[in-house]
Structure 1
Amino acid sequence: MKAAAVQLTVGHTREEAIDLAEELIREAAGQGASLVVLPELFAVPFVQPEPDPEYFVYAEGLEDGPSNSMVRRVSEELGITIVSSIFEGRSTPGVYGNTAATYVKGELKQVYRKSHLPFSNGFPEKYYFRPGDEAPSAVDTTVGRVGTIICYERHFPELGRAVALDGGIVLSVPVACASAPMKEVFQLELRAQAVANGFYVVCANRSGLEIVKDYFGTSAVYGPNGEVLDQIDDGAGIAIAEIDPELVARTRRTRPFLRDRRPDMYPSLVLDAAS
């Protein structure tokens, strides 16, 4: 089994971005990928530093919008799992989500709405999105159990751990990362997630200058030991690597971090700061 991260260049119309994503999904599947992860809000420009009321024009329905319509169709046709990411216009008027959708052989198996939203460092996401209310979890896919967190959430180790505790062997991470000083930290955090939880991490970013944000690419697949199994630096393309569930099981036996947790000793981590 293989997993792939699709990296997209910026500067396209929505239709062009969807077509490019489909082309790269098919390329990844042709190389044996059974799981493909797309970047954060893959088909539209990402939010810029100043809040923009006109940006809401990019919102789309969860299943009837153009992004996931393509993803569902290709997932079914190729018999693979695709993790999509869209600017979701929710059923309540005026409510929007930064939403990941996991399709398995054409069936929508999981919806995860970004629960930790930044309003800092040029990413005013709280202006646009309502945070999700459900914790990350894992779902059965064509490569085993997979869970998703989104971009900024890589800063919160608890979220990847939640996926691991739910049996996840792969953490998918759609991102839109453009802060050059954070590039090294970005990779360090993803490798740390892999090591701490003994699973694979598949991270998909965008590449290129979009208005004032210069996305640094570096989409990759990381192994359970934190090693970079494959990576694409700049431009459009795919990073692809083998996924071995037995290696995950063996890693968790030899580094039994999940076994040795002591949740009874960490109550302060979940107490309300105001209490």
Structure 2
Amino acid sequence: MRAAAIQLGVGQSVDETIRTARELVDEAAADGADFIVLPELYAVPFVQPEPDPEYFALAESLDGPSNTMAREASERHGITVVSSVFEAASVPGVYHNTSCTYSAGELVQTYRKSHLPFSNGFPEKFYFRPGEEAPSAVDTVAGRVGTIICYERHFPELARAVALDGGIALALPVACASKPMRDVFQIELRALAIANGMGVVCANRSGLEVEKDYFGTSAVYGPSGEILAQVDDGPGIAIADLDPAAIAATRRTRPFLRDRRPDMYAALV
């Protein structure tokens, strides 16, 4: 698996952002990437600290322009692309923060963000209905992968669910601009990789968007928590190889999944 995290600058129009994203996806594919992750709600401005009813105008259906770009790129290159969209559901007035995984042009997974913040300037509960399905893994042309979204990295149970379902890599679209979180951002992502013995591919925004300064740091992490590739600021691509054999070997030498004792964790749930 050759994994790539696409990092986008902010402040462009929706059409310009999608065009930039397409160019970066094509560039990553030309460099051999077969598993590409885009940032959270990559094509539109992200939510600001104060709830804004006008923001709903940016929502689109699952077959709207954001996912159309990802689907077409996935089909064109015969690869896996994880898109992220502000979804207007079929029920009027219902919206989701949704990620869609395309494998060789086929939609193989739709995951709706189930844990939503209303803190640190991210009033997402105002906009989105939480998803009702737990994260899981799905087979793609790149390998077996799963997705969680941004704030959900704080809940290790979600990444563990992907690992227990056979996922060897975790897609993590994010929109991270919170200064208090920047200091622990990579610690958390490295910990998820180590605890589950899997790759983590995290794609963030970069730059100032109204009141928020997105800090980038998109990266690909190996199963021992090592940073295999990283983009600091501005648009770019973090790309690196994730070896399924190395992931399997890591899970044998650090058998955390084997040594779990679910019978002792009942009090947690």
**TM-score, normalised by the number of residues in structure 1:** 0.97
Q: 2-side partners of 1:184 and 1:238: how far apart?
A: 22
- The one-letter amino acid paired with 1:182 is M
Matched with 1:21 is: 21
Partner of 2:245: 246
What residue in structure 2 maps to residue 171 of structure 1?
Answer: 170
Cα deviation per residue 1:187-231 (whole Å; 9 max; x = unaligned)?
A: 000000000000000000000000000000000000000000000
Matches of 1:71 and 1:34, distance apart in 2: 13
Q: Structure 1 residue runs of 4+, over 4 Å off?
A: none
- Unmatched runs of 5 consecutive residues or more in structure 2: none
Please state how far the C-alpha of 1:182 moved relative to its aligned partner: 1.4
Residue 111 of structure 1 and its aligned partner are, at CA, apart by 0.2
CA contact (8 A) 1:202 1:222 kept: yes
Distance 2:141 2:217 in 1: 25
Range that drifts further, 222-231 or 172-181:
172-181
Q: CA deviation at 1:70?
A: 1.1
In 1, Cα distance between equivalents of 2:220 and 2:73:
22
- Measured in 2, the distance between the counterparts of 1:53 and 1:234 equals 31
**How many Å separate the matches in 1 of 2:243 and 2:183?**
27
Residue number in structure 2 paired with 1:4: 4
Equivalent position of 2:128 in the other structure: 129
* Residue pairs, 1:85-104, within 5 angstroms: 85-104=84-103
Distance in 2 between the 1:3 and 1:61 partners? 27
Q: Secondary structure at the match of 1:214?
A: strand
Q: Does 1:54 align with 2:54?
A: yes
Q: Structure 1, residues 160-206: CA drift from partner, whole Å, max 9, x if none?
A: 00000000000000000001231120100000000000000000000
**Structure 1 residue 109 and structure 2 residue 108: aligned?**
yes
SS in 1 for 2:34: strand
The code of the aligned residue for 1:17 comes to T
Q: Output the amino acid matched with 2:144.
A: R
Q: Identify the residue that residue 273 of structure 1 maps to in structure 2.
A: none
2:75 aligns to what? 76
Cα distance in 2 between the residues matched to 1:192 and 1:72: 31
Aligned equivalent of 1:185: 184
Distance 2:192 2:249 in 1: 17
**1:41-89 Cα shifts (integer Å, max 9, x gaps):** 00000000000000001100012x1111111111101101000000000
Q: Which residue of 1 aligns with 2:42?
A: 42
SS in 1 for 2:177: coil
The residue correspondences of 1:153-168 to structure 2 (distance < 5 A) are: 153-168=152-167
Residues of 1 paired with 2:55 and 2:62: CA distance?
A: 17
Identify the residue that residue 225 of structure 2 maps to in structure 1: 226
C-alpha distance in 1 between matches for 2:239 and 2:62: 27
Q: Is this contact kept in 2: 1:143–1:243, CA < 8 A?
A: no
SS at match of 1:110: strand
Q: Deviations over 1:15-43 (max 9, x none)?
A: 00000000000000011000100000000
Partners of 2:179 and 2:121 in 1: CA distance:
13
Q: Percent identity?
A: 73
Amino acid at match of 2:245: E
SS, match of residue 33 in structure 1: coil
Task: Return the letter of the residue paired with 1:159.
Answer: L
Counterpart residue identity of residue 22, structure 1: R
Instruction: Number of aligned residue pairs: give it.
Output: 269
